[in-house]
Chains A and B, each alone.
Chain A
Amino acid sequence: MKFTSLSKGKGFYFPPCHLLNICGFRVLFDCPLDLSALSIFSPVGIDEGEFRVSSCDDFRDSECSDKKRQKAEKPLDASNLIHAEPYYKTVNDLHLWNASFIDIVVISSYMGMLGLPFLTRKQGFSAKIYATEATARLGKLMMEDLVAMHAEFRQLYGPEESGSTQWMKWEELDMFPSVMKEIVIGKDGTELGSWMPLYSAADVMDCMQKVQALKYAEEACYNGTLLIMAVSSGLELGTCNWTISSPKGTVTYLSSSSFVSSMSTDFDYHALQGSDMIIYSDFTTWKAGNGVDDYIGCSAPSTYELSDFSNSENDWEVRAESLLKLDDGAEEVEKLSFLCSCSIDSIKAGGSVIIPIGRLGIILQLLEQIADSLEATNNKAPIFVISSVADELLAYTNIIPEWLCKQRQDRMYSGHSLFGHVDLLKDKTLQLFPTLHSLELLKSWEEPCIVFCPHWSMRLGPAVHLLRRWCGDPNSLLIIENEEYTDLALLPFKPMTIKALQCSFLSGIKLQKVQPLLNILQPKVLMIPEDSRQFIPTFNTSMSLKYFSGKETLCIPKYKTTSELDIATDLTLQIQWKKLRHKETSIARLKGQLLLEHGKQRLVFHNDQEASMQAKSLLHWGKLDLKSLLVSLQKMGINGFVEQENIDTESETPTLVHISEPRKALIEMKGTDTVISTDDEDLASLICRTICSNLDCI
């Protein structure tokens, strides 16, 4: 078994990506896109002419390169962003692998799917792709939405510019500010090749046709050898961990998981119990710089901060701080209600709220809660969801009770719809529009309002235009998630007077829960990243730990050299056991046919049984004892004399036994080689039988 970590990802929106070689099959875990990298591009709708003057073309005119660098190191402004049709950043190390050598792709969440069309459209790609039904459906919608939003760039830059990669030239890259340069080429400067122009809608369609959708806990059998099963991870709709069973044992891939799911099916740890190996791939709560000492501190990653560029209000911070003390479930609930109350405050003050969050679970809950709060506080404001897939997305969420948690299912059993948005849509509190410029939207638009719309990168989709509209309104509110490059993301909208609320939602296993979880799951081998050492100092020693790091293939030693074999009962009846001489062991020839089906090895009755027996030669082992052989020969009425006896077995000269009675024959013995020569068939077989009786054989 071999394991290669291709990318550790960056939290929820960019899940990790690994490659595992198991039983000779290459399994790729997830195929995400780093959409946060989009922030190096200038968003659509930012007035082009405004920045033309200071775009890179001007730099090139300047003679002095020192001057360029000086300029580059100045504080960033929107003019530094790239004015071109965006490229998309894929997992860099994945490009090092030949796509046709991948046998299986498993997708753990809809975010882990966004890069899949890049892979599936490669020549020679023939892997089987597994994803849960919900993941496949939502992933498809997300990809379609991405393609739809990207079309705006196409319109802006025109077809002739698409595919132009001026910015990718090294001389241009050199002039980028360091933050942008790091995004473009990575920390080690190798990642330029990971940038790709976006796939087309046809690519998405093509990709989806290759995906085999699974239910939770449905066994998918690959090549008879591997049993692949998706198990609920509790994080989001349809997200899952994977167990891969082979005759050699079970491997669990533990992706970002949540033990307190407010909406999706609960984390299923029963199915993960008894795995031989766990690949721990939930890094969402591991943040660089958090040492051993303060890992408890970072375990509550829910830091609310009003960003610097907004008018901070003290009471928010106080409220936010109090949230830290709450435990998981309650904490998440509190977060949402806090967001609600902030939104209501904005509406009260006459401002609008824009929520470009990409997490479906959060959106659905906020929709319900904000509507409830609006009603409770007697405020009236329309709620809009603007996305090319809004309609389908919300319709879909209402027909998937199987993918939801108990509480949601109980809503159905008691005769309600699964989500409150069904009723909101009915009474027109909530309205869905495919695009900002749709006629219906223009007709029913009113402000203040609450808008859910993509995209969280603040480069694509209606969010860009709406933020442009409201960024100068101090009463309005922007709710965004805490991402690595948030500053860069908001750069083109500066100066901003809109309130910006940055929040982070629990998107993985908290550090202090890792140990208890592993105690429950009890794997024999735990694969964990090298840098986990600083986060998780103590580990139960009963399991063997393997540390992996990026850009390195780790060989996992076999934890057993045998595997299970099931022998059919009718076959066992046929087995003729033979006792070994001088030993307590019985042996028998294997018969039948070895089948590998459903991850199990079975020995069953074979129709050609008789035929195969005909051709089977006997295996003899050991050395002949001359004296006992002569005695045995005599018993059979065969007499002869020893011409030369050679006790030294290493010697070249053989021991010869001349047989004179009943006919002439010769037995030639040398170590473990014996040659019988005689003209007479009967005598030959008689001697042969006698020799065999003096040897162990099967």
Chain B
Amino acid sequence: MAIECLVLGAGQDVGKSCVVVKMNGKKIMFDCGMHMGHHDHQRYPDFSRISSSGDFDSSLTCIIITHFHLDHIGALPYFTEVCGYKGPIYMTYPTKALAPLMLEDYRKVMVDRRGEEEQFTSENIADCLKKVTAVDLKQTVQVDKDLQIRAYYAGHVLGAAMFYAKVGDASIVYTGDYNMTPDRHLGAAQIDRLHLDLLISESTYATTIRDSKYAREREFLHAVHKCVSNGGKVLIPTFALGRAQELCILLDDYWERMSLKVPIYFSAGLTLQANMYYKVLINWTSQKVKDAYTTRNAFEYKHVCSFERSMINAPGPCVLFATPGMITGGFSLEVFKHWAPYEENLITLPGYCVAGTVGHQLMSGKPKKVAVDKDTQVDVRCKINQLSFSPHTDAKGIMDLVKFLSPKHVILMHGEKPKMISLQERIQSELGIPSYCPANNETVSIPSTHYVKADISDTLRRKAKYPNFKFLKTNPEGNSNRDFMAPPTDPLRVFDDRLTDGILCLDNGKKAKAVHQDEFLGMLGAEKHELQFAYCCQVRVGNSGNARNIEISGDTLPIIDKYSRLHLLNGKLALELAEVNIQDCGEHIQVESVSISVCLNDDCPHRVSETSLNNSEAIYFCCTWLAVDEELARNVISALKKLELSTTEV
């Protein structure tokens, strides 16, 4: 059995995340994103690789979307409405609620601003989202009889989830984007310890280790505070979802603490609508925000109000959140034109800006003038501040997750090739887990777990519940050259062998069945055959006053009856055979299965060898043992033969 991963996007790249995983006959598409950097056919994953005939319904079992970012969901309306996929789609509740805002915003930018031909219409977006089944975290969803999926909290944006998928015995996790450290409004990613064949992880920051966010937050707040206290205006160009809410909470909180009265504005209704969703979906935010919701919903900002266009040139300080981020156009650009020429103002750019945008120009060096379009140039005299908040996990986080989950294989996606390769090597060398970072349109095939089904009987199951400890000595040399001063070299191994009496039976063409051996014999109607060995061993008895007795250093005891003889033998054997555990059971001595008892029967059938001593000089010890202990028994016997017991009476 194998799991095949076809990477359609975000292979050694960031953008258009899309991977199709085939396991045990099911095909699951994880994410269906678009690439922001391309404006031709390359912006979408190459869907023809899934099915050349375009019959996606029969070739895909389901689509799973991890979060609402365009590079993870951007191609979904195109795939469902234009390409005609009609099968099930799963995403979390917040993703389902917020995705239309993102998609609609993107569609508008694409059509209205760039004047491109639209790839899908507003109706397409609405129709597409109607087909979506929303799932809750940790809820086990039975997609069909064999396929089970489950979402885990990923912390990247509101509603971001890692998805676990299981078909038969094979299981994988696809992380999407995730964050291993909590931020202002979201918690850290959380997942159960699962048995995984494959982990497909993002690796945006494959080599970066980030420090604490608090320093950067403080820096940001101070910059904003300084600006407004000098009467300046602060422009924060941001996308409607995610960062805007995080910074808003941060500022609102700070305003409250510092009792600032300067207004904070939100541009456009889009962000306000997004806020509504954030309020309803507060259960998907961090614990801290959740706990506080009854007294105050954190997204019910005290100091934030909406912005009117006429207020752009109103006097006095203020803070304004305006869309879109990166200042690619729209309202943020308009405000930028008005505010950039004044020294007291501040423009804060949260996060990454794509080349070619005004944001990117501002970030690269300290431009005096910025070309807004072909004809217009804007003087930039205001301060520029860049924020490097990122909702992605860093290399440590990725390593932690991989270590925690300990999957059998790792595939890295969503990153830059050189960094991914270095992380891949790290995973292989540090964790010993084979890992891959395939390029787009490559397929990785890995073996999957498979269990053979059998039945187990109740008797065996019950017996297997209780520990059955066995002690094994692993260094047999311990006997001969034993150095008392040397530290023990772990000669004893303990293991728990609970299945020792288990037998697996396979009748022709039937399911295998594991039973206890007693049951097994019962099934056969047979009886256990006891195969034993026996030997009646002669031991010389020394005469009284014999000098040899000194050997046993004064503790020579009179042999009065067979018990004391046995006892004596026990003591001698213990000296002779240091490494075995000898038990004195009164009637006999037991060494593993070897049982030694005094034999008074002169016709003992086990006295097979010729006798060299007469009865007055010797005592017979009858030994019996099982086949397993043959070697041990022979050792015992040869030790017996060498022995001489004293009959001295003191």
Contacts and interface: CB of A to CB of B under 8 A. Distances in A.
B461 A601 contact: yes
Contacts of A218: 138-140
Given A675-B534, A676-B533, A619 B517 contact: yes
A468 interface: no
A398 B299 CA distance: 14
Interface residues of B, number: 82
A602 B134 CA distance: 33
Contacts of A270: 142
B404 interface: no
Nearest to B474: A611
A564 interface: yes
A611 B533 CA distance: 24
Contacts of A586: 505-506
Nearest to B517: A619
A656 B605 contact: yes
B626 A617 contact: yes
Contact of A590 (B273, B451, B514, B526): B514
Contacts of B279: 399
Interface in A385-440: 391-392, 395-396, 398-402, 409, 412-413, 415, 417-418
A478 interface: no
B98 to A, nearest CB: 10
Interface stretch (A172-180, A511-519, A660-668): A660-668
A318 interface: no
B93 interface: yes
B431 interface: no
Interface in A584-613: 584-594, 601-603, 608, 611-612
Give the most central of B451, B502, B624: most A CB within 10 Å. Answer: B451
Nearest to A220: B138
A457 B297 CA distance: 34
Interface in B154-196: 169
A588 B504 contact: yes
A668 B605 contact: yes
A587 B504 contact: yes
Contacts of A216: 136, 139
Nearest to A565: B456
A561 B452 contact: no
B195 to A, nearest CB: 8
B529 A594 contact: no
A393 to B, nearest CB: 10
Q: Which of B141, B505, B605 has the most CB of A within 10 A?
A: B605
B109 interface: no
Q: Is the interface of B mostly helix, strand, loop or mixed?
A: mixed
Contacts of B499: 590-594, 603
A275 to B, nearest CB: 14
B399 interface: no
B455 A564 contact: yes
A217 B450 CA distance: 25
Given A617-B628, A677-B535, A413 B96 contact: yes
A565 B455 contact: yes
B630 A685 contact: yes
A421 B123 CA distance: 31
Interface stretch (B228-236, B254-262, B419-427, B490-498): B490-498
Given A415-B276, A594-B464, A615 B628 contact: yes
B153 to A, nearest CB: 11
Given A585-B506, A611-B472, A563 B532 contact: no
Interface string B271-284: 00100110111110
Contacts of B548: none
A567 B140 contact: no
B530 A413 contact: no
B530 A672 contact: yes
Interface string A467-482: 0000000000000000
Contacts of A671: 527
Given A666-B606, A677-B535, A589 B470 contact: no
A673 interface: yes
A392 B279 CA distance: 15
Contact of A681 (B450, B517, B609, B630): B630
B223 interface: no
Contacts, number: 237
B106 interface: no
Most chain A Cβ neighbours within 10 Å, of B129, B273, B457, B497 = B497
Contacts of B529: 620-624, 672-674, 695, 697
B536 interface: yes
A412 B280 contact: yes
B531 A589 contact: no
Contacts of A561: 457-458
A633 interface: no
Contacts of A580: 524
A569 B451 contact: yes
* Residue among B456, B495, B529, B530 facing the most chain A CB atoms (10 A cut-off): B529
Contact of B528 (A585, A621, A675): A621
Nearest to B169: A566
Nearest to A586: B506
Interface string B121-146: 00000000100001011111110000
B216 interface: no
B450 A569 contact: yes
A241 to B, nearest CB: 15
Contacts of A415: 273, 276
B634 interface: yes
A564 B456 contact: yes
A572 interface: yes
B533 A677 contact: yes
A565 B535 contact: no
B454 interface: yes
B297 to A, nearest CB: 8
B53 interface: no
Contacts of A698: 503, 517
B136 A564 contact: no
A266 to B, nearest CB: 13
Contact of B453 (A396, A400, A566): A566
Nearest to A273: B142
A3 B517 CA distance: 32
A671 B527 CA distance: 9
B627 interface: yes
Nearest to A668: B605
Interface string A210-222: 0000111111000
B47 interface: no
A294 interface: no
A617 B627 contact: yes
B507 A614 contact: no
Contact of A675 (B452, B532, B609): B532
Nearest to B283: A399
Nearest to B472: A611
Contacts of A602: 451
A664 B514 contact: no
A666 B605 contact: yes
Contacts of B527: 621-623, 671-672
A409 B134 contact: yes
Contacts of A590: 499, 502-504, 514
B342 interface: no
B532 A674 contact: yes
B389 interface: no
A216 B524 CA distance: 48
B166 to A, nearest CB: 11
18 contacts: A409-B134, A562-B455, A565-B453, A565-B454, A565-B455, A565-B456, A565-B514, A572-B452, A585-B508, A587-B504, A615-B497, A617-B627, A617-B628, A621-B521, A621-B528, A671-B527, A674-B530, A676-B533
Given A217-B139, A398-B280, 14 more contacts: A219-B140, A409-B134, A418-B280, A569-B452, A586-B506, A590-B504, A594-B498, A612-B470, A615-B470, A615-B472, A618-B627, A666-B608, A673-B532, A695-B531
Closest 5 CB pairs of A and B: A590-B502, A566-B451, A620-B529, A608-B495, A565-B456
